[in-house]
């Protein structure tokens, strides 16, 4: 695409956003409650949030690069980059958070048949259906391919029995994309990828509380759950390839966590520690570690930008998802630790009026961040992926 | 900001890679050392100048190629890969940019063509103690003459012209001027350097004051970071090959997870560093506002990354990595010198914090 037509697109996007993005949507989220996840029972924090989603969905810009016939915006990668920079320019909140947008949609586009795409993608793009991810099981975490949830062919339907765990937001989700075992005689080649309506008889969820006090994930039980034959994506026993591709999208997404923190660690430290005679942060050791962290953040941001440019230039960068996942998780965890350290006892509140909203968010955010190096594949497992897939290190050569 | 190379840059990169592999492999540095010609290889510098690299930054009108900082960075990276011993950094990067930024028309006309042709080797004399501390210069200036001393001036042992940093200005000093004396140093990295004494030596000030000092230091840092990136990349690739071939306990050692994770960490650090180096050089080409922060970012990250990779180079090779016969030691030695020159990682972290206001 020529620079001129990209600039024309920028002008068009800017004008549209000026007109359509409500003022109250041009600030960072005040708290997690303000995030819009959509779904049949989805809640909107405000009328503006609802309007913002409706307008973005109408324009196809909740899923900018998906084809228009599936509810997307039909944009090229370069156009999308322009759109994202325009959204960022006005500080716009994402209109919709969604596992469907981040993880399921991209693999449906690649692996699903036409009926499945037509059925599911537009509902994801409009935020009508909220999805959860049924991968992990009590006995299958890092060794995901060891999963046992059974899926039997009963002629006119599939019959599912088993248990998933750590299913984020299963209690709010309308549908679940799920890995099931369709052949017990082999490991990776006996896995299939199915879609399950959570209102189906025999599906049950039980929330689990996290160390942060929130409970965004669940145990999910399937007892004699019948699903239609057309709910399998890809071929029978061909689910592992789809599962891995989806993980790449998930990892890329997780690695972007935390870049929108409301308070900056330097501001916290200035308030709590104060400045020395030279006008700089009084604690020289903490200052150095904050600087190191800030530089790591910058290096990471520059590298993400470089990867995007390389992807645009046609280089294959998909294998880099694991590297970004490890590095992004480490950064977010480190940032949260530095914030707690800088805040001192202001970070040791749990609830009540003795601590303000930002202080409590530091504490809760710090606890939640510990999951970043676990969810979507642990840091150790992703390092294995980098070593084996990217560097070609294997135990026999 | 752009991270993708244009066609001209891609050609330059490939030519530099081929040249360094064929004409300036690590074996050449080793021979230089063994022949006791510590950092003295005029022949290699002539060949590099013939390739047009001495004048990469120098505009056409002064006989250079005018290919910019990203272009020069690519050549420095290639030279870093094979530890090529040449005054490329001090002359083509520091010398040329100091004159371009602060030289009068007459100074440019006198020196830039000589730099571009390879006739004139330049060295950058900054530090006066064992650590990088440009603000603490005790250099005295009176009546167009300077007095003072400079320590460990890279390429100072072969320079024809010195860019000397004072507390508030940069000066041009000819190596053959009265009052200039040097003691050549035999250095651990076999690249050579000199301790300098200036005793009422005639000096011409460059225009630009303290700001010019900073701007030239930024270029020195970003350029050296490019060379260091090349060293780290090469050291990492050699180590990766070894992990895939060396067998113990009946398998290749690259199959051991303890080593795999460390290899993955090195890979990540190098990728992150590459983005920082490119961003700094690109900002220089564009005249972007945050050059200083990006230069410090690049130098600090290159320092940390090279430190890690040069140590792992030895460790993952086991006993053979400790032998003089193996190249690992040569990389390790150059690494520590490059890490310290123009500011260590901690120096640049502190500077970065200051630039960000804390
Ligand atoms: C906040 C959060 C949200 C999540 N959301 C979902 C979700 O929505 N859907 C879903 O399906 N799952 C979800 N998960 C589950 C997550 O994917 C698993 O927790 C993760 O894959 C690790 O599995 P595990 O908990 O069984 O740990 P284990 O696999 O038992 O790991 C225990 C430890 O052993 C290490 N280890 C294991 N194997 C190796 C190896 N080969 N080499 C080196 N070290 C190893 C691990 O790195 C870890 O440190 C979520 C997890 C968290 C924390």
3-class secondary structure per residue, A94-134:
CCCCCHHHHHHHHHHHHHCCHHHHHHHHHHHHCCCCCEEEE
Distance CA B302, CA B337 (A): 13
Distance CA A331, CA A343 (A): 18
* Of B276, B294, B264, B196, residue with least CA distance to B229: B276
Average pLDDT of span B167-195: 96
Q: How close, in Å, is residue A146 to chain B by CA atoms?
A: 21
User: Is it the case that residue A199 has pLDDT exceeding 70?
Assistant: yes
Distance CA B350, CA A292 (A): 9
Which of the four pLDDT bands, split at 50, 70 and 90, describes residue B168? very high
Chain A partners of B349 at a C-beta cutoff of 8 Å? 288, 291-292, 295
- Residue A318 Cα, ligand 1 centroid: separation in angstroms? 21
For residue B303, what are the contacts with CB-CB under 8 A and spacing of at least 6? Answer: B228, B338, B339, B344, B345, B348
- Residue A136 Cα, ligand 1 centroid: separation in angstroms? 8
Return mean pLDDT, chain B. 96
* Of A329, A357, A369, A363, residue with least CA distance to A343: A363
Angle at the Cα of B270 (from B88 to B268), degrees rounded to 5?
175
Which of the four pLDDT bands, split at 50, 70 and 90, describes residue A256? low
Do residue A300 and residue B272 have CB atoms under 8 angstroms apart?
yes
Asked if A53 and A95 count as a contact pair (C-beta separation under 8 A), the reply is: yes
Give the atom of ligand 1 at the shortest distance from the alpha carbon of A138. Answer: 26
**Which structure tokens are listed for B30?**
């080793």
Do residue B352 and residue A295 have CB atoms under 8 angstroms apart?
yes
The mean-pLDDT minimum among A367-371, B55-59, B91-95, B111-115 falls in A367-371
Q: How close, in Å, is residue A79 to chain B by CA atoms?
A: 17
Return mean pLDDT, chain A. 93
Q: Strand, helix or coil at A256?
A: coil
Asked if B228 and B303 count as a contact pair (C-beta separation under 8 A), the reply is: yes
Q: Ligand 1: residues whose CB is within 6 Å?
A: A 133-136, 141-142, 166-168, 217, 371, 374-378, 380-381, 384; B 257
Asked if A137 and A181 count as a contact pair (C-beta separation under 8 A), the reply is: no
Give the E-state strand segments of B100-160 in sequence order.
122-125, 140-142, 145-154
Angle at the Cα of B180 (from B174 to B182), degrees rounded to 5?
110
User: Would you give the distance in Å from CA B247 to the centre of its chain?
Assistant: 36
**What length is written for chain B?**
358
Minimal Cβ distance to B252: which of A294, A306, A397: A397
Tracing tokens 């104060």 back to the chain, one arrives at A274
Give the atom of ligand 1 at the shortest distance from the alpha carbon of A384. Answer: 42
Distance CA B273, CA B293 (A): 14
Q: Beta strand A157-168 with B140-142: parallel, antiparallel or unpaired?
A: unpaired
* Test site for ligand 1: of A99, A141, A162, A322, most ligand atoms within 8 A of the Cβ: A141
- Write the CA distances from B234 to B40, B241, B287, integer angstroms: 23, 11, 30
Average pLDDT of span B275-288: 96
**Which structure tokens are listed for B227?**
């060379």
- Residue A219 Cα, ligand 1 centroid: separation in angstroms? 14
For the segment A136-151, what is each residue's pLDDT rounded down to a tens digit? 999 999 999 999 999 9
Counting beta carbons within 10 angstroms of the beta carbon of residue A277, is it exposed (0 to 12), middle (13 to 18) or buried (19 or more)?
exposed
Average pLDDT of span B265-288: 97
CA atoms within 13 A on the CB side of A180: 27
Angle at the Cα of A42 (from A138 to A263), degrees rounded to 5?
80
Average pLDDT of span B302-306: 97
Rounded to 5, what percent of chain A is helix, strand, coil? Answer: 50, 15, 35
- A 10 A CB-CB count for B178 gives 10
Residue A115 annotated as catalytic:
no
In three-state form (DSSP H/G/I as H, E/B as E, the rest C), the secondary structure along A289-334 is HHHHHHHHHHHHHHHHHHHHHHHHCCCCCHHHHHHHHHHHHHHHHH
At B171, give phi and psi (nearest 5°). -130, 150
From A79, A86, A137, A250, active-site residue:
A250
pLDDT of B344 reads: 93
Do residue A393 and residue B255 have CB atoms under 8 angstroms apart?
yes
User: Is it the case that residue A216 has pLDDT exceeding 90?
Assistant: no
Asked if B315 and B337 count as a contact pair (C-beta separation under 8 A), the reply is: no
Distance CA B221, CA B224 (A): 5
Which of the four pLDDT bands, split at 50, 70 and 90, describes residue A313? confident
Smallest CA–CA distance from B246 into chain A, residue: A397
pLDDT of A254 reads: 75
pLDDT of A253 reads: 79
pLDDT of A316 reads: 72
Largest separation between any pair of C-alpha atoms in chain A: 79
Distance CA A336, CA B341 (A): 33
For the segment B106-154, what is each residue's pLDDT rounded down to a tens digit? 999 999 999 999 999 999 999 999 999 999 999 999 999 999 999 999 9
In three-state form (DSSP H/G/I as H, E/B as E, the rest C), the secondary structure along B256-290 is CHHHHHHHHHHHHHHHHHHHHHHHHHHHHHHCCCC
Residue A225's DSSP bridge partners are A160
Distance CA B98, CA B204 (A): 13
Going by CA atoms, what residue is nearest to atom 51 of ligand 1? A375
Do residue A270 and residue B261 have CB atoms under 8 angstroms apart?
no
pLDDT of B346 reads: 94
Average pLDDT of span A174-188: 98
**Which structure tokens are listed for B33?**
């050392």
Residue A221's DSSP bridge partners are A163, A204
Do residue A305 and residue B261 have CB atoms under 8 angstroms apart?
no
- Write the CA distances from B73 to A55, B10, B25, integer angstroms: 47, 12, 18
Q: How many CB pairs under 8 A join A and B?
A: 128
Do residue B297 and residue A295 have CB atoms under 8 angstroms apart?
yes
Average pLDDT of span A76-81: 90
Q: Strand, helix or coil at B13?
A: helix
Counting beta carbons within 10 angstroms of the beta carbon of residue B143, is it exposed (0 to 12), middle (13 to 18) or buried (19 or more)?
exposed
Tracing tokens 């290749």 back to the chain, one arrives at B252
pLDDT of B194 reads: 97
Smallest CA–CA distance from A284 into chain B, residue: B350
Asked if A267 and A359 count as a contact pair (C-beta separation under 8 A), the reply is: no
**Which structure tokens are listed for A288?**
């150095």
For the segment A345-386, what is each residue's pLDDT rounded down to a tens digit? 899 999 889 899 889 889 989 998 999 999 999 999 999 999
Q: At what angle are helices B257-286 and A321-343 packed, to 10 degrees? A: 80
Counting beta carbons within 10 angstroms of the beta carbon of residue A351, is it exposed (0 to 12), middle (13 to 18) or buried (19 or more)?
exposed
- Report the predicted TM-score, pTM, of the whole model to 2 decimal places: 0.90
User: Is it the case that residue A258 has pLDDT exceeding 60?
Assistant: no
Give the atom of ligand 1 at the shortest distance from the alpha carbon of A378. Answer: 47
Asked if B105 and B257 count as a contact pair (C-beta separation under 8 A), the reply is: no
User: Is it the case that residue A31 has pLDDT exceeding 90?
Assistant: no
**Which structure tokens are listed for B144?**
């167009």
Comparing B274 with A316, which gets the higher pLDDT? Answer: B274
Chain A partners of B261 at a C-beta cutoff of 8 Å? 380, 383-384, 387
User: Is it the case that residue A184 has pLDDT exceeding 70?
Assistant: yes
* Test site for ligand 1: of A99, A102, A136, most ligand atoms within 8 A of the Cβ: A136
- Residue B204 Cα, ligand 1 centroid: separation in angstroms? 65
Distance CA A28, CA A244 (A): 32
Distance CA B268, CA A320 (A): 9
User: Would you give the distance in Å from CA B292 to the centre of its chain?
Assistant: 17
User: What percentage of chain B carries pLDDT values higher than 90?
Assistant: 98
Minimal Cβ distance to B271: which of A290, A303, A384: A303
For the segment A268-312, what is each residue's pLDDT rounded down to a tens digit? 999 999 999 999 999 999 999 999 999 999 999 999 889 888 877
Average pLDDT of span B327-353: 96
Smallest CA–CA distance from B263 into chain A, residue: A387
pLDDT of B240 reads: 97
Tracing tokens 């094979």 back to the chain, one arrives at B82
Distance CA B79, CA B223 (A): 12
User: Is it the case that residue B326 has pLDDT exceeding 60?
Assistant: yes
Give the E-state strand segments of chain A in sequence order.
131-134, 150-153, 157-168, 175-181, 191-197, 203-208, 217-228, 232-233
pLDDT of A30 reads: 79
**Residue A222 backbone zone (phi > 0: left; psi -120 to 50: alpha; other: beta):** beta
Do residue A299 and residue B2 have CB atoms under 8 angstroms apart?
no
Which of the four pLDDT bands, split at 50, 70 and 90, describes residue B191? very high
Asked if B118 and B48 count as a contact pair (C-beta separation under 8 A), the reply is: yes
For the segment A95-141, what is each residue's pLDDT rounded down to a tens digit? 999 999 999 999 999 999 999 999 999 999 999 999 999 999 999 99
For residue A32, what are the contacts with CB-CB under 8 A and spacing of at least 6? Answer: A214
pLDDT of A1 reads: 58
Q: Which of residues 271-330 of A touch B (CB under 8 A)?
A: 280-281, 287-288, 290-292, 294-296, 298-300, 302-303, 305-306, 309-310, 313, 320, 323, 326-327
Do residue B271 and residue A396 have CB atoms under 8 angstroms apart?
no
The mean-pLDDT minimum among A54-68, A163-177, A202-216, B97-111 falls in A202-216
Which of the four pLDDT bands, split at 50, 70 and 90, describes residue B2? confident
Q: Which of residues 222-261 of B touch A (CB under 8 A)?
A: 240, 243-245, 251-252, 254-257, 259-261
The ipTM (two decimal places) reads 0.84
Chain B partners of A320 at a C-beta cutoff of 8 Å? 271
Q: How close, in Å, is residue B136 to chain A by CA atoms?
A: 17
């Amino acid at each position: 695409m020529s620079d001129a037509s990209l600039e024309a697109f920028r002008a068009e996007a800017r004008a549209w956003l000026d007109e359509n993005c409500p003022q109250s949507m041009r600030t960072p989220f005040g708290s997690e409650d303000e995030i819009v996840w959509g779904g049949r029972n989805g809640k909107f924090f405000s009328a503006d949030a609802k309007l913002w989603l409706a307008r973005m969905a109408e324009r196809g810009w909740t899923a900018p690069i998906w084809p228009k016939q599936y509810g997307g915006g039909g944009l090229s990668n370069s156009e999308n980059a322009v759109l994202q920079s325009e959204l960022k320019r006005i500080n716009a909140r994402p209109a919709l958070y969604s596992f469907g947008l981040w993880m399921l949609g991209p693999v449906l586009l690649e692996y699903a048949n036409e009926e499945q795409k037509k059925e599911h993608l537009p509902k994801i793009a409009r935020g009508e259906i909220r999805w959860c991810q049924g991968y992990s099981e009590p006995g299958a975490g890092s060794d995901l391919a060891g999963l046992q949830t059974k899926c039997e062919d009963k002629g006119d339907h599939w019959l599912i029995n088993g248990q998933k765990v750590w299913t984020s937001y299963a209690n709010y989700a309308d549908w679940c994309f799920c890995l099931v075992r369709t052949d017990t005689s082999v490991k990776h080649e006996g896995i299939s990828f199915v879609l399950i309506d959570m209102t189906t008889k025999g599906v049950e969820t039980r929330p689990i509380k996290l160390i942060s006090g929130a409970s965004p994930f669940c145990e999910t039980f399937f007892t004699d759950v019948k699903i239609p034959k057309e709910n399998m994506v890809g071929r029978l026993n061909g689910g592992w390839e789809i599962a891995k591709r989806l993980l790449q999208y998930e990892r890329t997404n997780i690695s972007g966590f935390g870049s929108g923190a409301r308070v900056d660690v330097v501001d916290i430290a200035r308030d709590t520690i104060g400045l020395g005679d030279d006008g700089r942060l009084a604690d020289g050791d903490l200052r150095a570690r904050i600087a190191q962290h800030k530089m790591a953040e910058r290096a990471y941001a520059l590298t993400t930008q470089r990867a995007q440019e390389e992807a645009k230039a046609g280089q294959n960068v998909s294998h880099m998802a694991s590297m970004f996942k490890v590095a992004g998780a480490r950064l977010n965890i480190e940032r949260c630790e530095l914030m707690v350290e800088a805040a001192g006892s202001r970070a040791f509140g749990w609830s009540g009026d003795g601590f303000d909203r930002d202080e409590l968010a530091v504490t809760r955010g710090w606890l939640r961040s510990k999951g970043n190096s676990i969810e979507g594949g642990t840091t150790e497992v992703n390092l294995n992926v980098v070593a084996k897939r990217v560097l070609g290190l294997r135990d026999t050569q | 900001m752009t991270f993708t190379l244009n066609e001209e840059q891609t050609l330059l990169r490939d030519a530099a890679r081929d040249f360094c592999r064929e004409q300036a492999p690590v074996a050449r540095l080793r021979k230089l050392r063994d022949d006791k010609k510590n950092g003295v290889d005029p022949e290699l510098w002539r060949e590099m100048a013939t390739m047009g690299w001495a004048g990469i930054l120098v505009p056409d009108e002064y006989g250079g190629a005018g290919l910019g900082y990203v272009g020069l960075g690519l050549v420095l990276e290639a030279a870093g890969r094979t530890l090529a011993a040449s005054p490329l950094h001090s002359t083509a990067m520091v010398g040329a940019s100091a004159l371009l930024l602060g030289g009068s028309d007459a100074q440019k006309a006198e020196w830039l063509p000589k730099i571009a042709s390879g006739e004139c080797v330049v060295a950058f004399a900054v530090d006066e103690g064992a650590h990088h501390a440009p603000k603490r210069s005790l250099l005295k200036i009176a009546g167009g003459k300077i007095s003072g001393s400079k320590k460990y001036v890279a390429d100072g042992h072969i320079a024809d012209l010195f860019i000397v940093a004072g507390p508030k200005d940069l000066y041009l000093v000819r190596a053959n001027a009265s009052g200039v004396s040097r003691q050549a140093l035999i250095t651990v990295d076999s690249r050579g350097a000199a301790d300098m004494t200036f005793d009422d030596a005639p000096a011409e000030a460059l225009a630009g004051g303290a700001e010019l000092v900073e701007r030239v230091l930024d270029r020195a840092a970003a350029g050296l970071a490019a060379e260091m990136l090349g060293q780290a990349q090469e050291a990492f690739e050699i180590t990766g090959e070894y992990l895939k071939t060396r067998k113990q306990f009946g398998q290749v050692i690259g199959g051991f997870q303890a080593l795999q994770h460390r290899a993955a960490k090195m890979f990540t650090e190098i990728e992150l560093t590459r983005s920082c180096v490119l961003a700094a050089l690109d900002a220089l080409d564009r005249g972007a506002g945050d050059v200083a922060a990006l230069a410090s970012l690049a130098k600090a990250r290159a320092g940390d990354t090279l430190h890690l990779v040069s140590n792992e180079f030895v460790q993952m090779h086991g006993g053979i990595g400790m032998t003089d016969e193996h190249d690992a030691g040569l990389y390790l030695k150059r690494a520590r010198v490059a890490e310290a020159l123009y500011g260590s990682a901690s120096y640049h972290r502190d500077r970065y914090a200051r630039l960000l206001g804390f």
